[in-house]
Amino acid sequence: MIAIDGFSSCGKSTFAREIAARMGYIFIDTGAMYRAVTLYALRHGAVDGGWIDEARLVAMLPDIRISFRFNAARGASDVYLDGENVEREIRSIGVSNLVSRVSQIGAVREQLVRLQQQMGSAKGVVMDGRDIGTVVFPDAELKIFMTADPAVRAMRRYEELKEKGQEVPLAEIEENIRSRDLADQTRAIGPLRQADDALVLDNSHMTVDEQMAWVQDKLKALGC
Spell out the domain ranges in the chain: 2-214
* pLDDT at residue 201, rounded to an integer: 96
User: Where is 153: in which H helix or E strand?
Assistant: helix 150-163
* pLDDT at residue 17, rounded to an integer: 87
* 3-state class (DSSP) for residue 212: helix
State pTM to two decimals. 0.76
* pLDDT at residue 28, rounded to an integer: 86
The CATH homologous superfamily to which domain 2-214 belongs is: P-loop containing nucleotide triphosphate hydrolases (3.40.50.300)
* pLDDT at residue 40, rounded to an integer: 97
Between helices 93-103 and 170-186, what is the axis angle to 10°? 10
Give, in order, the Cα–Cα distances in Å from 4 to each of 48, 51, 140: 33, 30, 10
* pLDDT at residue 224, rounded to an integer: 67
pLDDT along the chain (224 residues), means of 10: 91 88 85 95 90 95 90 80 95 90 91 89 84 92 95 93 89 93 86 93 93 91 78
Q: Are 204 and 149 in contact (CB under 8 A)?
A: yes
